[in-house]
Structure 1
Amino acid sequence: MSRITEWRKLPVSLNELCIATTLCCGQSFRWRQSDDQTWTCTLRGRIVQLTQDKSHLRYRSIWPSACEAPPTPPSSIPPTVDEDSETDDTKSLIMHYLNLEPDLETLYAQWSASDPNFKKKAPKFTGVRILRQDAWEALIGFICSSNNNIVRISQMVDKLCTHYGRYIATLDGRPYHDFPEPDALTGKDVEAHLRELGFGYRAKYISRTAKMVAEEREHGWLDGLRNPESPAYGRTVSPGGQMKPEGRDGYREAHEKLLDLQGVGPKVADCVCLMGLGWGEAVPVDTHVWQIAQRDYKFGRGKHSSLTKATYDAVANHFRKLWGKEAGWAHSVLFTADLRAFAERLTTKAEVSIKGDTRPSAEPEVRQQQTVRRVAVKRELEQDERNVVVKVEELVMNSSERVKRQRRK
């Protein structure tokens, strides 16, 4: 029977962390949101659940029982476990995973001081944090992202966990599995099986990369590429996989070594460096980021008229010079802001009346009242092309549209 902790809370403001944005902006592909706004994922051998209000982050963990098979039927009232015991490190895990140590308001202020465009757009998108994910999970997740959309990426990652990950527990009738270790994906039939599951050409990349990490590199090699200022949670690095010196050379070395793996190009390597290895200066440049660079930072002319390897480096270097050590973090905030799907729309509710003369030439008197209303949206985010399709379920007519209709009448 699974063990479950009581709900506990951490004092975290929405300016410092917004899980509704951070967990679904294309960093991780395993978090599931319930109707009650609870977010659920397996991390480090347990199920973690998160929910948030304006001043606190609430969390609890569900631990596996001794039995590896899902209970039948699943218990709805598992016993509790005291988090203060030595067996539950969920608090420190959450603080590490959500990267809660840096003062985010201070970082936003620094980026705003150096970049008017960031200063203009970022205030509506506070609380975006870069996750400290497991490097192996980030690597496989972003290999799956190639020419793919976020829904299918999440489905692929879920299939990997279900078929190759260790069973943890069943919650609300749904079994949860951890992310599979590299050696779980090295079998001779893995590639064929993944193709049957719909992975396409990515099946070969995943199988081959798993073999390279598990069998052809020394133990701890991948975590050895980590920024020493951002250590992996609960991991040790073997003597053959020592942490590299900090600084730009360490990031460059990590980036270049990742390119040796199957299915890893510059963008995937930078995603892994940023979100799995802790290199804050890594700036993934895809088509969407390229569009931001063209629109807001005057790229797209002369030798930088298209997204080539040279342009990729030029854009990333420009952002590193502009934002500094955590340029990848700042870039992710702007990317999220550009989606607009997370925004609260400022709409104008117009009351139109015609005073006196009711002829068509009479000018209407418009009284405007500004209201903030959350617009329900349906978003399809293309992880590679970063295209966003937004369906607005509620339309609030602005004053000019209302006036035009009044005139036509």
Structure 2
Amino acid sequence: MYKNNIFLYPCPVSGRKNQMMGTNWRSIPCKIAELRLDIVLACGQSFRWKEIKPGLWRSVLAKKVWTLKQNDNELFYQIHCGHELETPTDDKHEVKTFSKPKKAQKQGNSDNHGTRVKKEVLPPGDLYFSNAESTLFDYFQLQTSLGELYKKWSSADANFRQVAADFTGIRMLRQDPTENLFAFICSSNNNISRISGMVERMCEKYGDKLCELDGQTYYTFPDIAKLASENVEQELRSLGFGYRAKYINQTAKYIMQNHNDNWLQSLRSVSYEDAHSELLKLPGVGSKVADCVCLMSLDKHSAIPVDTHVWQIASRDYMPKLTKTKSLTDKVYKEIGDFFRNLYGDYAGWAHSVLFSADLKKFQDLKTKKIRQDTQPIRKKRLNESTAKTKKKRKQEK
């Protein structure tokens, strides 16, 4: 059924294990205000999720094939095939289970990204699903309370408050850094549809086959060593990657020659400045791609990827003086990032993603007419304030 333009599945009759579509579904508690699959999985963070039916999303995650859906209060999942999650053979095992989300904390102030955990003893069968649920919590970063962040951002920004009325549940994914990096190397001068096609062709060519499901074959994302092979650039060019083929192959070679397979993952433990600086050394990686990787897979929550789209949002709704700039220079890039970091704080990258998603053409039908009208006075006020400051500055200079 549809509710507020979101396709929701009815609540299960009983229990967390439900017989639907001939396969068992399991669920974890997750209110739709904390996560909206229809936006988060389609807004250009990850490029492998496909909506196979209204409200049903499928992709490869952690080398397994998953199908997801949701209702108002639960996130449902199926695991169809793929590499087995580690399940010990003892009768009982001690595992970590997650509690309810807590308020977002500053970066680096707590272990396990601020997640409160408790230890619980589970038999082997249930342990498999406990590990699966931990994967979902980590991937969607459900330990971070989005409601608390929205309150903070809304109190700091009237424009965000208006946008958020129609765009709740938009959070950042915590992706595998390797997939995240090479997917965004494909993003140069590209759109979401074409990037998705390139990523899938890369997986088909160099990934490991997992299984066939409903007529579709699923593959893992290739490891860096495979992408570093000598013939990769030529093969990717033949698959339609153009100049991006060279950057993919050269970046993989650089990592293998100067680091190792775990190097990207290790950047999670360094500062934003250091991680960003290291990524800029990679062929084909500029500030925007580096910030995408920092934000979407390296736990740098205040990173702000600035492309022409974000530049337009900033100049239209926040920084009217930028309407006179003719190109996105390094100076303008930093100015926009610093503006949003000062406005939104430690999780500025998450807030920026809400504004970015709300401005995408594909999601315009989600906006109410009232929201469109209410944002106009805010933009006009900022323009008037910017004009007044400019006049005052010129007067002082005279």
Q: Which runs of 5+ in 1 are unaligned?
A: 67-81, 227-242, 245-249, 349-409
3-state SS of 1:183 partner: helix
Q: CA deviation at 1:93?
A: 0.4
- Offset of residue 252 of structure 1: 0.9
Q: How many angstroms does 1:59 deviate by? A: 0.3
Whether the 8 Å CA contact 1:299–1:305 is kept in 2: the answer is no
- Paired with 1:34 and 1:107, the residues of 2 have a C-alpha distance of 31
1:14-41: per-residue Cα shift (whole Å, max 9, x none)?
1110000000001000001112421111
Alignment partner, residue 356 of structure 1: none
Q: Aligned pair 1:26/2:44, yes or no? A: yes
2:64 and 2:83 in contact (8 A); partners too? no
2:342 is aligned with 1:321: yes
Secondary structure in structure 1 of the residue aligned to 2:76? strand
Match of 1:278 among 299, 312, 315: 299
Distance in 1 (CA, whole Å) between partners of 2:125 and 2:255 is 34
Unaligned runs of at least 5 residues, structure 2: 1-21, 85-123, 371-398
Q: How does 1:239-278 map to 2 (within 5 A)?
A: 243-244=269-270, 250-278=271-299
Residue identity matched to 1:138: N
State the 1:85 CA deviation: 3.9
Give, in angstroms, the shift of residue 207 of structure 1.
Answer: 0.6
Q: Check the 8 A contact 2:316/2:323 in 1, yes or no.
A: no
The corresponding residue for 2:387 is none
Of 213, 217, 223, the residue aligned with 2:259 is 217
Aligned-residue offset at 1:303? 8.5
Give the distance between the partners of 2:249 and 2:275, measured in 1 at CA. Answer: 21
- Are positions 1:344 and 2:366 aligned together? yes
Please name the residue that 2:222 is paired with: 180
Report which of the two structures shows the higher radius of gyration computed on alpha carbons: 1
What is the correspondence of 1:63-142 to structure 2 with a 5 Å cutoff?
63-64=81-82, 84-86=126-128, 89-142=131-184
Gap change, CA 1:186 and 1:340, over 3 Å in 2: closer
Name 1:9's counterpart in structure 2. 27
Is 1:292 the counterpart of 2:313? The answer is: yes
Residue 196 of structure 2 corresponds to: 154
Q: State the TM-score, normalizing by the size of structure 1.
A: 0.72
Amino acid at match of 1:279: K
Task: Tell which deviates more after alignment, 334-343 or 266-275.
Answer: 334-343
Matches within 5 A, 1:373-384: none
- Contact 1:300–1:306 at 8 Å: present in 2 too? no
Name the SS of the counterpart of 2:263 in structure 1. Answer: coil
Contact (CA 8 Å) 2:184, 2:292: kept in 1 or not?
yes
Percent of aligned positions that are identical:
46
Number of corresponding residues = 309
> Which letter maps to 1:344?
L
SS in structure 1 of the partner of residue 302 of structure 2: coil
Alpha-carbon separation, structure 2, partners of 1:97 and 1:15: 17
Q: What is the aligned counterpart of 2:234 among 176, 192, 205? A: 192
2:177, 2:265 within 8 Å by CA — same for their partners in 1?
A: yes
Partner secondary structure for residue 246 of structure 2: helix
Structure 2 CA distance for partners of 1:179 and 1:88, relative to 1, 3 Å: farther
Q: Map residues 33-52 of structure 1 onto 2, 5 A cutoff.
A: 33-52=51-70
Partner Cα distance (1:44, 1:193) in 2: 26
Give, as a single letter, the amino acid of the residue that structure 1 aligns with 2:204. T
Distance, in Å, in 1 between the alignment partners of 2:139 and 2:83 is 24
Deviation sequence 1:152-177 (CA, Å, 0-9, x none):
10000000111111111111121100
Q: CA deviation at 1:312?
A: 0.5
**TM-score, scaled relative to structure 2:** 0.74
Whether contact under 8 Å (2:224, 2:261) holds in the other structure is no
SS at match of 1:92: helix
SS across alignment from 1:158: helix
CA offsets 1:180-230 (integer angstroms, 9 cap, x no match) = 11011121111100000000000000011111122321452211111xxxx
* Residue 166 (structure 1) aligned to one of 205, 208, 225: 208
Q: Deviations over 1:281-320 (max 9, x none)?
A: 1001111111111111124359856421101000100100
* Equivalent residue, structure 1, for 2:6: none
In the TM superposition, residue 341 of structure 1 has moved relative to its aligned partner by: 3.1
1:85 and 1:101 map into 2 onto residues whose CA distance is 20
Which residue of the other structure, out of 206, 218, 239, is the alignment partner of 2:248? Answer: 206
CA deviations on 1:350-403 (whole Å, 9 max, x unpaired) are: xxxxxxxxxxxxxxxxxxxxxxxxxxxxxxxxxxxxxxxxxxxxxxxxxxxxxx
Sort the Cα spacing of 1:138 and 1:219 in 2 relative to 1 into closer, same or farther, 3 A.
Answer: closer
The one-letter code matched in structure 1 to 2:282 is L
1:13 Cα deviation after fit:
1.4
Q: Alpha carbon RMSD of aligned pairs, Å?
A: 2.1
Structure 2 residue identity aligned to 1:167: K
Local SS of the residue matching 1:261: coil
Rate the CA distance shift 1:145–1:218 in 2: closer, same or farther, 3 A.
Answer: same
Report if the CA contact (8 A) 1:161-1:179 is conserved.
Answer: yes
Quote the Cα distance in structure 2 between the aligned partners of 1:199 and 1:152. 10
